[in-house]
Structure 1
Amino acid sequence: MIAFSPNSAIGRLLLLRTIAIVVQLLMVLLGTFFYSKNIDILPALSVISLESLFQLASVYAYRKTHEAAHLGMLLQLLADIVFLTMLLSLSGGASNAFVSLLLLPIMIAAVILPRYYVLITAFSAIVSYCYLFFTLPDQHLNHMDMHQHFLGMLVNFVFSVFAVVLVVMVLAKQLQIREKKLAQVRETQLKNEQMMALGAAAAQATHQLATPIATLHLLFEEVQESNPDLLVWDDIALALEQCKAQLNSFRTQADYLKSTKVENVIPIEDILQELNTLIVLQYPEQQLVINNNHHDAVVLFDPMLIPALLYIIANAARANDQAGDDKITIHSSVKSQKWYLNIIDNGAGIEPQQLLKLGHEMVQSDHGLGMALLLSNATLERLHGHMTIENNQHRGTTTRVVLPLAKGSKNT
Structure 2
Amino acid sequence: MISFSPQSAIGRLLLLRTIAILIQLLLVLASAFWFDKSIELLPVLIVIAFESCFQLFSVLAYRKTSEAAPSGMMLQLLADVIFMTILLSLSGGASNAFVSMLIIPIVIAAVTLPSQFVLIISLSSLIAYGYLFATMGGNHMHHMDMELHFKGMWANFVLSVFIVVMVVMAMAKQLRTKEQSLAKVREKQLKNEQLIALGSAAAQATHQLATPLGNINLLFEELKEDYPEHPALEDMGKAINICKEQLELFRAQTERFKSSDSFGVQSTASILEELETLMALQFPEQNLTMDDVADADVSDDPMLIPALLNVLSNAAQANNKTNSKEIIIKSKIEKGTWVLSITDHGPGIDPKKMERLGHTIVKSESGLGMALVLSHASIERLKGAIQLENQYQYGAKTTISLPIKENKL
Q: TM-score, normalised by structure 1?
A: 0.85
Q: Work out whether 1:68 is the aligned partner of 2:62.
A: no
Once the two structures are TM-superposed, the CA of residue 167 in structure 1 deviates from its matched residue by: 2.2
**Corresponding residue for residue 128 of structure 2:** 128
* Letter matched to residue 401 of structure 1: I
**Corresponding residue for residue 303 of structure 1:** 302
| Count of residue pairs brought into register by the alignment | 407
More divergent stretch after superposition (114-123 vs 92-101): 114-123
- Counterpart CA distance in 2 for 1:245 and 1:383 is 25
Once the two structures are TM-superposed, the CA of residue 146 in structure 1 deviates from its matched residue by: 0.9
**Corresponding residue for residue 238 of structure 1:** 238
CA distance 1:283–1:237, change in 2 (3 Å): closer
**Corresponding residue for residue 382 of structure 2:** 383
**Corresponding residue for residue 45 of structure 1:** 45
8 Å contact from structure 1 (residues 350, 397) kept in 2: no
**CA offsets per residue over residues 261-307 of structure 1, 9 Å max, x none?**
34233333444455566667766777766553x62333223333233
- Counterpart CA distance in 2 for 1:63 and 1:405 is 56
* Letter matched to residue 301 of structure 2: D
Once the two structures are TM-superposed, the CA of residue 199 in structure 1 deviates from its matched residue by: 0.7
8 Å contact from structure 2 (residues 265, 407) kept in 1: no
CA distance 1:340–1:229, change in 2 (3 Å): closer
3-state SS of the aligned residue for 2:263?
A: coil
**Corresponding residue for residue 402 of structure 2:** 403
8 Å contact from structure 1 (residues 10, 73) kept in 2: yes
8 Å contact from structure 1 (residues 316, 347) kept in 2: no
**Corresponding residue for residue 215 of structure 1:** 215
* Letter matched to residue 35 of structure 2: Y
CA distance 1:42–1:271, change in 2 (3 Å): farther
More divergent stretch after superposition (174-183 vs 259-268): 259-268
CA distance 1:333–1:125, change in 2 (3 Å): farther
**CA offsets per residue over residues 97-150 of structure 1, 9 Å max, x none?**
111212212212222222333233222222221221111121111211111111
**Structure 2: stretches of 5+ with no match in the other structure:** none
More divergent stretch after superposition (202-211 vs 127-136): 127-136
8 Å contact from structure 1 (residues 271, 306) kept in 2: yes
CA distance 1:145–1:175, change in 2 (3 Å): same
**Corresponding residue for residue 109 of structure 1:** 109
- Counterpart CA distance in 2 for 1:6 and 1:234 is 70
CA distance 1:228–1:351, change in 2 (3 Å): closer
Q: Work out whether 1:6 is the aligned partner of 2:6.
A: yes
Mapping for residues 158-197 of structure 1, pairs under 5 Å: 158-197=158-197
Mapping for residues 261-340 of structure 1, pairs under 5 Å: 261-272=261-272, 275=275, 291-292=291-292, 295-319=294-318, 332-340=331-339
3-state SS of the aligned residue for 2:68?
A: coil
8 Å contact from structure 2 (residues 343, 394) kept in 1: no
More divergent stretch after superposition (304-313 vs 370-379): 304-313
8 Å contact from structure 2 (residues 307, 375) kept in 1: yes
Once the two structures are TM-superposed, the CA of residue 375 in structure 1 deviates from its matched residue by: 0.6
- Counterpart CA distance in 2 for 1:91 and 1:169 is 32
3-state SS of the aligned residue for 1:251?
A: helix
CA distance 1:37–1:349, change in 2 (3 Å): farther
Once the two structures are TM-superposed, the CA of residue 374 in structure 1 deviates from its matched residue by: 1.0
Once the two structures are TM-superposed, the CA of residue 45 in structure 1 deviates from its matched residue by: 2.8
CA distance 1:16–1:395, change in 2 (3 Å): farther
3-state SS of the aligned residue for 2:145?
A: coil
- Counterpart CA distance in 1 for 2:181 and 2:16 is 30
**Corresponding residue for residue 147 of structure 1:** 147
More divergent stretch after superposition (393-402 vs 70-79): 393-402
8 Å contact from structure 1 (residues 74, 117) kept in 2: yes
3-state SS of the aligned residue for 1:168?
A: helix
3-state SS of the aligned residue for 1:143?
A: helix
CA distance 1:10–1:397, change in 2 (3 Å): farther
8 Å contact from structure 2 (residues 357, 373) kept in 1: yes
More divergent stretch after superposition (70-79 vs 389-398): 389-398
CA distance 1:312–1:161, change in 2 (3 Å): same
- Counterpart CA distance in 2 for 1:260 and 1:186 is 28
**CA offsets per residue over residues 156-181 of structure 1, 9 Å max, x none?**
11121222222222222222232222
8 Å contact from structure 1 (residues 308, 376) kept in 2: yes
**Corresponding residue for residue 371 of structure 1:** 370
Once the two structures are TM-superposed, the CA of residue 382 in structure 1 deviates from its matched residue by: 1.2
Once the two structures are TM-superposed, the CA of residue 15 in structure 1 deviates from its matched residue by: 2.1
3-state SS of the aligned residue for 1:334?
A: strand
- Counterpart CA distance in 2 for 1:208 and 1:363 is 27
Once the two structures are TM-superposed, the CA of residue 252 in structure 1 deviates from its matched residue by: 1.7
More divergent stretch after superposition (98-107 vs 264-273): 264-273
3-state SS of the aligned residue for 2:158?
A: helix
More divergent stretch after superposition (279-288 vs 109-118): 279-288
* Letter matched to residue 153 of structure 2: M
- Counterpart CA distance in 1 for 2:321 and 2:238 is 31
**Corresponding residue for residue 357 of structure 1:** 356
- Alpha-carbon RMSD across the aligned residues, in angstroms, is 3.2
Once the two structures are TM-superposed, the CA of residue 328 in structure 1 deviates from its matched residue by: 5.8
Once the two structures are TM-superposed, the CA of residue 69 in structure 1 deviates from its matched residue by: 2.6
Q: TM-score, normalised by structure 2?
A: 0.86
3-state SS of the aligned residue for 2:386?
A: strand
